[in-house]
Amino acid sequence: QLSVNVKDASIIRHNRNLSEMLGYSADEIKTMTMLDFYTDDENGALKAWQILGTIKSGNKIEVEATMRRKDGDVVWVLRLLK
């Protein structure tokens, strides 16, 4: 679970599963934005902006996107966001 400020993509709240999946500590995640987790391509960053726009408009979205772990590995995630 990840709660994001849609104005600047800063992270408001997250759960332990996100930390474990991406390899960041809770303290590290507090200093990051949602955009820091997504890869720099059409499967990552572009989808991250799409997610922010959809959430900002009050709609739900199910999206499959690529995220980058702290160690550099890429993982595919399927997320339902609202």
DSSP per residue, 9-64: -BEEEE-HHHHHHHT--HHHHHT-BGGGGB-SSTTTHHHHHHHHHHHHTT--EEEE
Q: pLDDT per residue over 25-64, tens digit each?
A: 999 998 998 888 888 887 787 888 888 888 788 877 787 8
Closest CA to 70 of 9, 20, 11, 16: 20
Residue 81, pLDDT above cutoff 80: no
Q: What is the enclosing helix (H) or strand (E) of 72?
A: none
The pTM is what?
0.74
Residue 82, pLDDT above cutoff 80: no
